[in-house]
Amino acid sequence: MVKRRTDSCRRRVSMCLVAMCGSLLAIAQVPADSVNGKPHEMSGVTVTERRLPVSLTAGAPVQRMEKAELERMGALDVSDAVRHFSGVSVKDYGGIGGMKTVSVRSLGAQHTAVSYDGVAVGDCQSGQVDISRFSLDNVSALTLTIGQGDDIFQPAKALASAGVLSIETGKPDFGAASFRLAARVKSGSFGLANPSLFWAVRLGGKAGLSFYGDYLRADGIYPFEYVNGTRRIKAKRNNSDIQAYRGEANFYASLGDGQDLRAKLYLFHSERGLPGSVIYDNPYAAERLHGRNYFGQLNYEVSFSPKWKLKAAGKFNYVWNRDTDKEAAGMRDDRFRQTETYLTATLWSEPLRGLSFSLAQDFAYNDLSTTLSNCQYPERYTVLTALSAQYWHPVFRITASLLNTYITENVRTGTAADDRQRLSPAVSLSWRPLPSTAWRLRASYKDIFRMPTFNDLYYRLIGNTRLRPECTRQWNVGTTWGGRVSPVVETLDVSVDAYYNKVKDKIVAVPTMFVWKMSNVGEVETVGVDINVSAGIRVAKSMRLGLSGAYNFMQAEDVTDRDSKLWRNQIAYTPRHSGSGSLTWETPWVDVAYNVVFASERYRMPQNSADNRIRPYSDHSLSAFRTFRWGRHALRLQADALNLGGKNYEIVRFYPMPGRNYKFTVTYYL
């Protein structure tokens, strides 16, 4: 029976691949633009107005931080920067070695995709991506898109999630030089040592090669105070150490005739202690996690004419983990290996001025093997097809897409989950009521889902192969404005968004007669508001003040059963109020940045009882930095004081965060 299912599965996948290739090869020849059939020279144009950021012009909420802003904020890693996006919850399991995942608007980490240089980072086992394995030193921009984005020239997988966190590494700017070099050393509390090196070289006039590598180690031993009932406990965190190596090589080439090629090789090795929860006054933990992640990806883009473009990418990803622990029953040693093969191609066309279409076709193959008993060795074949359209007018822009998902699975033993096929529509609108102003209104809708992970379907006794996808409907309405208020207030950007989300068939673990089982039993209703404000103030000719703030109100309640004790309870780990603020002071002598993030009370379990309450927290930090330049050389010095309040607050219950700590960074550029 399994063999017949396998043959049928392969036939379906082969037919999908043939259809994918055929649809993308049907490209018509379109003549180049011309005016009266004769070449002409356009007169020069001087631009005096600031180009509005995408966060103000997009039809759906988009938040973006460029490298310059990340440096001004003094952000030290990706998770620190992402916490400044509104509507985002970062689960941090404590310590430098703790796992960090991103959730958007209470939807859960599995609904938030992570893209690295235009290609999605996958995890078929848990569906969650640990963003702590990416270094901020090599990042040129971070972008968070919620719902239907305006960019239709992208892979179908970018449309397959409720939100997308895009991590971009930029091409080196050589200028007149033939190479670039950046050497950085970070050191600080709890035994932190983090040297890194970036080197790029120009290969002729149209190609370049870059290498980035870093080493991270920390013992993670930090003191903490903990209140258990009426007792105050003082202890030190243990088993929170980490040792990690990270390396990346990039090749860039412009092949002429509108063709660009980019290749990437990435490796990450880590050994870390999982600090564990502090329960019953016991901070002991002995669980260790060894991880390896290798992937290679290739991106190719070609412009046939101003009206036709094609981009294609391929990726192979390998992830290996070893999880060991000294338990009362003896030593546990579990190993997991997963691979992903991913192919994508997107064709874009603009047949009429302002009207554009795209067709994206993706294929992915995932497999998982473990040393656990009764491992079923699941395989998943995914075919995604996305048809998108966009109409642009000086007054408004409308974007729509329709995503078709087809998934089939196979297992060596047992029963595989049923095949799944689903259509997912999305639409967004940006409208400028007064063409002479920068005030805009926007609205968006997206119907999307997330597939059950391999853990949900096949993990030991709790897996359930009859699970349905967890479906989400997102509505958003908002308004944006940006402009120059006065010669002193050079920039002022404001965005306000109200949103409503409805999640059905939520996948949760529920108790049965003998064991817990994954089931579709939950419904969640979310109502919220995001507010973002940023301003640039010119205090003097050589002094500038930067202000930014984000606030989120989120009421995410369980609406599964009116007769249940959980009816209208706030879902776990979702604060009603959260936000961030940043103040930067740029002077000729030293730049100073003050940052704060805060969250109101949360609950660790679905029941909002006093026993499950997690206290509110605010985390304040202060950074000072200056760059010295001479000739082609530059030296940047930075000092950071983190968690100035010194509180061992919790983001995840029973995982106390480090108190006040310090970091120092020295960077040399050539």
pLDDT tens-digit map of 191-246 = 999 999 999 999 977 899 999 999 999 998 899 887 766 777 788 888 889 999 99
Name the helix (H) or strand (E) containing 7: helix 2-25
Q: Quick one: 437 exposed, middle or buried, by C-beta within 10 A (0-12, 13-18, 19+)?
A: exposed
Strands 223-228 and 207-218 turn out to be unpaired
Measure the CA–CA gap between 170 and 182, rounded to whole angstroms.
Answer: 14
DSSP 237-268: --S--EEEEEEEEEEEEEEETTEEEEEEEEEE
Q: What kind of architecture, by CATH, is found in domain 2-17+52-669? A: Beta Barrel (2.40)
pLDDT at position 3 is 44
Top pLDDT among 547 and 34 is at 547
* Chain-centre distance for alpha carbon 646: 28
pLDDT at position 33 is 42
Q: What is the mean pLDDT of residues 509-536?
A: 86
Amino acid at residue number 562: R
Measure the CA–CA gap between 176 and 128, rounded to whole angstroms.
Answer: 43
Measure the CA–CA gap between 32 and 16, rounded to whole angstroms.
Answer: 33
Amino acid at residue number 650: E
pLDDT at position 220 is 87
pLDDT at position 280 is 67
* Chain-centre distance for alpha carbon 583: 24
Q: Quick one: 576 exposed, middle or buried, by C-beta within 10 A (0-12, 13-18, 19+)?
A: middle
For 417-474, what is the HEC assignment?
CCCEEEEEEEEEEEECCCCCCCCEEEEEEEEEEECCCHHHHHCCCCCCCCCCCEEEEE
Backbone dihedral angles phi then psi of residue 58, each to the nearest 5 degrees: -75, 155
Neighbours of 382 (CB within 10 A): 25
* CA-wise closest residue to 503 among 480, 475, 461: 475
Measure the CA–CA gap between 33 and 39, rounded to whole angstroms.
Answer: 10
pLDDT at position 50 is 66
Top pLDDT among 94 and 134 is at 134
302 in helix, strand or coil? strand
Reported as a pLDDT band with limits 50, 70 and 90, residue 548 is very high
Structure tokens at 669: 């550029």
What's the distance, Cα to Cα, between the start and end of the chain in Å? 63
Measure the CA–CA gap between 390 and 401, rounded to whole angstroms.
Answer: 9
Name the residue ranges covered by the structural domains of the chain. 2-17+52-669
Does pLDDT of 467 surpass 50?
yes
Across 147-280, the runs of DSSP E, i.e. the strands, are 163-168, 179-188, 192-202, 207-218, 223-228, 231-236, 242-256, 259-273
Average pLDDT, the chain: 88
* Chain-centre distance for alpha carbon 37: 47
Measure the CA–CA gap between 648 and 226, rounded to whole angstroms.
Answer: 8
pLDDT at position 15 is 47
Structure tokens at 210: 């870059």
* Total residue length of the chain: 670
pLDDT at position 29 is 37
At 98-126, the pLDDT tens digits run 678 899 998 988 999 999 999 999 899 99
Cα distances from 382 to residues 129, 138, 333, in angstroms, run 19, 31, 31
pLDDT at position 629 is 94
Measure the CA–CA gap between 82 and 90, rounded to whole angstroms.
Answer: 8
Strand partners of residue 272: 242, 289
Least confident of 37-51, 315-329, 350-364: 37-51
18 in helix, strand or coil? helix
User: What is the gyration radius of the CA atoms in the chain, in angstroms?
Assistant: 26
Does pLDDT of 22 surpass 60?
no
Structure tokens at 189: 């509390």
* CA-wise closest residue to 387 among 413, 348, 358, 408: 358
Q: Quick one: 604 exposed, middle or buried, by C-beta within 10 A (0-12, 13-18, 19+)?
A: middle
At 241-253, the pLDDT tens digits run 999 999 999 999 9
At 317-335, the pLDDT tens digits run 999 999 999 876 788 899 9
Reported as a pLDDT band with limits 50, 70 and 90, residue 509 is confident
Region of 643 on the Ramachandran plot (φ > 0 left; ψ -120 to 50 alpha; else beta): left
At 148-185, the pLDDT tens digits run 999 999 999 999 999 999 999 988 888 788 899 999 99
Q: What is the pTM of this model?
A: 0.88
DSSP state, residue 135:
-
As a whole number of angstroms, the longest Cα–Cα distance in the chain is 85
Residue 158: CA count within 13 A, CB half-sphere: 29
Q: How many percent of the chain have pLDDT more than 70? A: 90
139 CB-near residues (< 8 Å, 6+ apart): 67, 70, 78, 167, 168, 169
DSSP 539-589: EETTEEEEEEEEEEEEEEEE-S-TTSTTTTPBPTT--SEEEEEEEEEE-SS
Contact 99, 132 (CB under 8 A): yes
For 593-656, what is the HEC assignment?
EEEEEEECCEECCCCCCHHHEECCEEEEEEEEEEEEEECCEEEEEEEEEECCCCCCCECCCCCE
pLDDT at position 27 is 36
Measure the CA–CA gap between 475 and 529, rounded to whole angstroms.
Answer: 12
Top pLDDT among 281 and 2 is at 281
pLDDT at position 92 is 78
Reported as a pLDDT band with limits 50, 70 and 90, residue 615 is very high
Task: Write down the residue that tokens 């983990």 correspond to.
Answer: 321
pLDDT at position 100 is 86
pLDDT at position 94 is 61
Amino acid at residue number 361: Q
Measure the CA–CA gap between 64 and 142, rounded to whole angstroms.
Answer: 6
* Chain-centre distance for alpha carbon 483: 29
Measure the CA–CA gap between 452 and 465, rounded to whole angstroms.
Answer: 9
Contact 395, 148 (CB under 8 A): no
